[in-house]
Each structure stands twice: as C-alpha cells, then as structure tokens.
Structure 1
Amino acid sequence: MIHKTAFTNQCVCWFHQVSDEYTLHRQTFYLAQDYFDRFMSTQSDVEKSMLQLIGITCLFVASKMEEACPPKLWQMAYITAGTYYKEEILKMELIILKALRWNLCPETAVSWLQLYFQMASMSVDSDLLEPQFPQDAYIQMTRLLDLCILSINSLDFQYRVLAASVLCHFLQQEAVEKLSGLSKDVLQPCLNWMAPFVETVGRCGRAATRDFASVKDDGHNIQTHTDYMTMLKDACKNEADSQFPTPPSSTEKTDAH
C-alpha cells in the first residue's frame, strides 16, 4: 500500500486550499481524501507529477457527490494553474471510479465526529435533524481531525475510532465510549498516538470562526485552510520527542555510585 508521503501530504493539504477557495463542505474534503487514499492503495507506482491530477479529480468527484452547486469542470482545471486540462480530469475520473468500484459513499471521519457530537449534545426534546452542538467547539474538533489525517499513521485507525478519539479530548472519555460503543482498549492506542497532535493544536490557540457571504447557517461545515504543513511538522517533532526523550545534560546527570 502506498502510504502518505511528504508529496501526498502536500496534495491533501492542497485539498484544504481548494476547498476553502470554492467554499466546499467538510464532508466534500473528507470524501476526496478517502477517495485519494483508497485509490493510491490500488496503485503500485505513481509518478509525483500525477498526484495533483489525482487529487483534483478526487475533489471533483466528491464535490458532485456532496455539494448542491459543485464547481464546474473548467473551474477544477483552472485551479491547477493550467497544469491539467478538462479532458485529462475526465479521463482520470473514470480510472478512479473503476479503481474504487464506484464505492463513493463511505462514512468519513468527519461524519462520524459530527454524529457523535450531535448525540452527546442532544436532550430528550432535541430535533435530531437540527445541529444541537456548539459550532465553535465543533470547529476546534475539526481542526484537530484535519491535522491528524495528514499523518501516515492515521491510516492505522478506523474513521470512527479517529473521530471518537478527537471527541475524547473535548468530552469525558467515559461518555464518548458509551455513545460510540467503542471500548477503552480500542480507543487508547489512538488516543496515545494523537497526543502530540493535541499538543500542537493547543499551542496554536483556538481556531477562529469565519463568516461566509454565500453561506448563512452552515459556516461550521465549510472546510477552511490553515498552515497545516507547519503544524504537522511540529506534531511529528512532538511525536519523535515522546519516543526518544532528550537525554539530560552533563550537569543534570547524577553519579549513581
């Protein structure tokens, strides 16, 4: 399986930028990321020059699945700065759809997160079809999830486990275990792995809410972009430091004899 590399990380991070540019929903981004990962897992040798074409095609397909008014084909070609033409995107679209066997409606990590948070926020009289959770808190959660899925090791965990683990950093773990049906034994490895990412997000402060001229009540569901690559480098450094602690200086060492 071809895992995320520095180049594929940049491609997925580029998804964030395009999603922000065209005011696409979070689910659109996460569908595109899922298509990208699953397609790459079917390939044995992909040239770096093809990653952007694969990426924009995945986002194009995801947009048609999720958006009420998806970007046009020419807009997707335009965002590649003339690198690829409409015909190339259409050709790649068919290749990807065949590789995915037309399985285009998975439950993504963000859809699991929204479901869990909705359940945790509901009362007896709540309307299931209306968001019950505070939007600001949801935005903080999605930023952590956005960062985590850039890591190669996120592929070691099911989407529902990733989502529940994110929620555990905002709600009591016992409550998350109950509403998700996932045991502590299942969640703990992911929680341990996620700790360096939580540390990085914590140092960056709270994510700011944004207003969108074309979106009235759904702003929390719009995928936004920040400098995730810098955050990922910091999180990976935190991860490495936790595995290989810095040895004490000579002045801190004590004589064991």
Structure 2
Amino acid sequence: MKKYGFIGAGNMGYAMLKGLIKDGKKDDVIFTDASKERIQWIHNQLEIESSNSNKDLVTRAKYIVLAIKPQYYASVLEEIKEVITTNHIVISIAPGITIDSIKAQLSNDIKIVRAMPNTPALIGEGMSAVSFSKDLFSEEEKEEIIRFFSSFGVMEEIEEKLMNAVVPISGSSPAYVYMMIEAMADAGVLAGLSRKMAYTLAAQSVLGSAKMVLETGIHPGELKDAVCSPGGTTIEAVAVLEKTGFRSSIIEAMNVCFEKTKRMS
C-alpha cells in the first residue's frame, strides 16, 4: 500500500507532489486527476504511479490528499465514502471546507486534517497552516503529517476557527507579491533596465526582505525605517505609497478575500 494518495493534481497538487518527490518519497505516492491529459503530463514530469479512479486510489493509500477545488468536494466525497475506512486519514486543502462538513459526508469516525498550503511549495518554500480534527491521532500519524507538510516548506498548527484568516495572508498572497514584483520590474524597465535584470533585482529584493523579517525578528516597520534616510530617495517613495493607498489597498484586498472564504464556508 502507498502512503500518500492524491485526488487532484492541479497547480497546488503538483506543487505538493513535487515537494514530496524531492524529499525522496516517490515510491510512497500515487495520484489521479479528472483529466487524462493531466495524468499523463504529471506521470511524464514526475514518474510517479497513477490510478484510473478515485475509489481505486483510496484503497491503495493511507493518507488521502484532496487536492481539488471546493466545488468538487461533494461529488468526490460521495464517490469515495464507500471505500474510506477508519484506517485512512483525509487531508483537505480547500478554502472554506470545514472538518465537520467532510465528516458529515464521510463518517464522524474518519480522521481529518484541514490545511491551507500555498504554491511556493513547488520549490520547497511553501507555507502551510494545519488543523487536526479532534480524533485521537497516534504519535506516528502526527509525525508523518508534520513530515508531509515539512517536505515542501514550513508548517504551523492552528485552531480550525482561524483557517479562514490564513487564506488571504498566505494561501492567496503569492498572487499579490507577484503583482508587486511585476510592477517593480515595469518601473525598472521604464528607467532603462532590461526586463530580465529588472525581474531579478525585484524578486531578489523581495526574497531578501522577507528573510530579514523571519531571521532577525525585527518589526517590519523598524526594518523599513532603517532603509529610509532623512531627506533621501526611499522616504520619498514611501510617502507616495502612503499617499496612493498602498497599505490600505492590501488590507482591503485581503479583507475581501477573507469575506469570500467565509461565504464559501
């Protein structure tokens, strides 16, 4: 029997699969997808075993990863409920889908892990918030789940009631960061840099700044102040960002994302 079975291999599923394989777990993984073309592509890229049905996959793995969009949960859970047993652990990564709603369709006795990873898992830099159902997980099971999420990034365990708040701050936020990098690069091109050089400078600056926050523990505001010399170029740029609502636009966008996630619940 395989250890991990992935139902769905879209962008997020592929990112997690790739992280697992980099961690040396290729022989422990089986997957399936609604698209035969996608199955063939993943097989060619990662050389891992595939299954031709969701029910077959469930009978061949212990940890079942539901890497599908929220709108497909009801039909997929209905399909697999006959073959899910108390020996399985279901890992859900869909926004808005609660542990209780999955149990209601499968069984109250099934152990559920609800998580919100993000796409930087593709390069081993994912951020995953994880909640466990109130069932009694063995130490071995908990350790395996921690290893699973750690294989493609960083994991933080949180209370499930906070999961909706995770969606805008880490689940969806790579999109905002990519937009910022693109805008920074456009400004660099406008100033005369090549497109390739502009993207390198912008992306590395974002990467380095993020690592400064994580590794120094210094408040982001203090780090920002350290770059802003009195009467200098940076403080002029910061003043324009404040004037044009940079901060508030990010907060408002994330709040809209949060409200959408609550409605999905």
Bin the TM-score by the shorter chain: under 0.3
TM-score (norm 2): 0.25
Q: Larger % of strand: which? A: 2
Give me the TM-score of the superposition, normalised by structure 1.
Answer: 0.26
- Per chain length, whose mean CA-contact separation is higher, i.e. which structure has more relative contact order (CA < 8 Å, sep 6+)? 1
Larger Rg: 2
